Amino acid sequence: MPEVLRTDKTWIQKTPGVCGGRACIRRTRITVWGLVEWRRLGLSDAQIQEQISGLTQPDLSAAWTYYEQHREEIDQDIKQNEEA
């Protein structure tokens, strides 16, 4: 069963076998680390939403909250992706 962090109308899930079990937006393969990377590259929330169909502002807010609460985990995911 996926681990779920509920925040208002959206949530973050970690599902074994989906994106390596990394934190993703609700029932998707949109990783929190990927969203954080886009933000670091200077994309605004609106620009990220333009690129990902169906992504909502509450989804992004949940991702940013998750990152603030799990910074070390997400930074490690980003590092592992850069090394791949």
Distance, CA of 34 to CA of 52 (rounded, Å): 11
User: Which positions of the chain have pLDDT values less than 70?
Assistant: 1-10
The pLDDT value recorded for residue 66 is 95
pLDDT digits (tens, 9 = 90+) for 53-72: 999 999 999 999 999 999 99
The pLDDT value recorded for residue 3 is 58
Residue listed under structure tokens 């590092």: 79
Long-range contacts of the stretch 71-74 (C-beta < 8 A, 24+): 73/23, 74/23, 74/32, 74/33, 74/36
Walk me through the domains of the chain, giving residue ranges and CATH numbers: 3-83 (1.10.10.10)
